[in-house]
Structure 1
Amino acid sequence: MSTVPQLPPATAPLSDYIARREPAFFPGLAAGWPAVRRWDFDFLGRLRPEMSVRLVRGDRESGATRFVESTLGAYMRLLARDEFGEEFLYLKEFDLLRRFPHLHADISPRRELLPRRAFAPPPGVWVGPARARTGAHYDLLGNIAVVIRGGKRFRVAPPGFVEAADALSAKYDPLARLSARPLAEIAAATRSEDRLYEVELVAGDVLYVPDRWWHEVRNRSASILLSGFFGGYGHVAARAAQVAVRHGLHLAHRDRATGCTCHETGSGDKEYR
């Protein structure tokens, strides 16, 4: 496959891209945020060292769903020392701001990135080692991702990219739709390389990914990512109702034939403490 085209830096305000539902890359837009200056693995680990956390083992979007139990302090110490080897344990969708409300002050400039009347619950935090991955998927709401520490590579493709290749996964995820194949593989097989973009982000960079845009993520180094969904109140309410119905059906059946990202399909037989 030829080199994946790079997503160029934005040339207009974020609001323009949100209105057009086009992805946008803003290098250094959040470089001055207190979180970018203060948050590192040692800082997070000292917040409440004995707090229990559930880690994702491997790439649950395209592989088996497995979890490992640890504590916040133990996991952050491993990240700081880079002692994982080939064990890619990922703290995903961590509700850091709900558990530690005083940290909202460190991300207060985020409100300026959002549309004036948008509904935006507290963003989640993704923390993981180098080479950890999130498989190809699209989200049901728009997402503003901010790299707080380390570096990440995003690949993004437009709505319909995976569907046109008949590559939708049957695996269930509460808030997303999954691809059965990596985006680069689909692009090579369908000769649609020009519809797939790649962007490298470092601390302080911001990426807007519209809803239904496919994306996959790989950590270039141990990293901390702030990722927040948002949308108009009516749009969010409609999506919430859709998710509630779908998740109720999932809980009734547990999708035994196809698997899911929220219940284990393998044994989480190891603890990190």
Structure 2
Amino acid sequence: MNIVSKILDQSQPIEEITSIDAVSFKKEYFKKKKPVIIKGIAKEWEAVKRWDLDFFLRLKDDKDIYLLSDNFIQDDNRYRKASFKEYIMQLKEAESNNKDFKDYLTTLDIFKYYPELKNDINFPFFGKHTKVNDITAWIGPSGTISGFHADTANNLYAQIRGKKMFIISSTKFNKTMYPSSKHIYGAVASEVDINNFDEDKFPKFLNNDFKSVILEPGDILFVPQNWWHYVQALDSSISISNFGYTKFEVYSLKFKERIIQSLHKRGYYKANNCFCCEKS
């Protein structure tokens, strides 16, 4: 049973503002772990002005990437290797011809691949409070889904092209979000698939409180550390995530996660119980 509409009907809006400075952001949202939408704040970014599928095709180099399809979190999904420009061409063709296309590019370390693009974005009110920022790109067709999960880092999510819908829920509902035992780097997944919901298996899920928003190009959403969120692309879209770690978190949380991921890759931790292994 698909309950996305039902959750949206019972959800509340996320607080929305149109501007922010570093001091106010830290005091009102960062320290309080409170979500907020900064509406249109990124509209003047070069990324919002310039980035589209044709822009990516004009980049000098091609790169190997890893793709997913369908619901990355709750489906039995694994990465598969592809070429960046070949994928962009396939996405463009699907978009132009209104074809069904499910592959999408997630958590691409875009500035490692294309360092010349670093100046196209800017997170000054966030970067003043973080020591390390892991910035990744999300590119894909309409309909792509990242099911409910909770990132261990604070996340500023910027919409560059197209629209995306977010549904979020507080850490207060950790137990009734039904956390999965599967390993996922830097996050915890929910077992609940709201596109194929099993009420008997997850009887308390709909008692949780939810908030929702549709992000448009230039909007930035602050998703606080460990808050649950579900994301669905409403259009072919390009997005940027900035996962920020404070100085303390770099030497505690991030260090611990790297050790766990290293053990996982070597087969010592949840070797056959994860979301990250490449399809053979």
| Range into which the TM-score falls when normalised by the shorter chain | 0.7 to 0.9
SS of 1:165's equivalent in the other structure is helix
Q: Is the 8 A contact 2:139 2:239 kept in 1?
A: yes
- The equivalent residue for 2:185 is 174
Counterparts in 2 of 1:191 and 1:132: CA distance versus 1, 3 Å: closer
Cα pair 2:72 2:145 within 8 Å, conserved: no
Give 2:71's aligned residue.
59
Determine whether 1:46 maps to 2:72. no
Matched AA of 1:114: F
Given residue 35 of structure 1, which amino acid in structure 2 is its aligned partner? A
Question: Contact 1:84 / 1:129 at 8 angstroms: preserved in 2?
Answer: no
**1:183 & 1:237 partners in 2: Cα distance?**
36
What TM-score, normalized by structure 1, do the two folds share?
0.86
Distance apart, 1:106 and its partner CA: 1.0
TM-score (norm 2): 0.84
CA-to-aligned-CA distance 1:93-149 (integer Å, 9 cap, x gap): 111111221211111x32x12152411335110101100011111111101010011
Counterpart CA distance in 2 for 1:167 and 1:89 is 27
8 Å CA contact 1:49–1:74 kept in 2: the answer is: no
Segments of 4+ in structure 1 off by > 6 A? none
Q: Contact conserved, 1:151 with 1:221, CA < 8 A, in 2?
A: yes
Task: Report what 1:141 is aligned to.
Answer: 153
Task: Give deviations 1:168-212, integer Å, cap 9, x for gaps.
Answer: 11211011000000469689844535x211110010000001111
Alignment of 1:1-273 (within 5 A): 1=6, 3=9, 4-10=11-17, 13-15=24-26, 16-48=28-60, 50-81=62-93, 82=95, 85-107=99-121, 109-110=122-123, 112-161=124-173, 163-165=174-176, 167-182=178-193, 189-193=204-208, 195-251=209-265, 252-253=267-268, 255-256=270-271, 259-264=273-278
Segments of 5+ residues of structure 1 without an aligned counterpart are 268-273
Q: Aligned pairs, how many?
A: 261
Structure 2 unaligned segments of length 5 or more: list them: 1-5
Q: Is the 8 A contact 1:34 1:106 kept in 2?
A: yes
**What SS does the corresponding residue of 1:217 show, helix, strand or coil?**
strand
Structure 1, residues 215-249: CA drift from partner, whole Å, max 9, x if none? 11000101111101113101222112221332233
Q: Secondary structure at the match of 1:63?
A: coil
Counterpart for residue 3 of structure 2? none
Q: SS at the partner of 1:239? A: helix
CA contact (8 A) 1:153 1:217 kept: yes
RMSD (CA atoms):
2.5
Identity %: 25
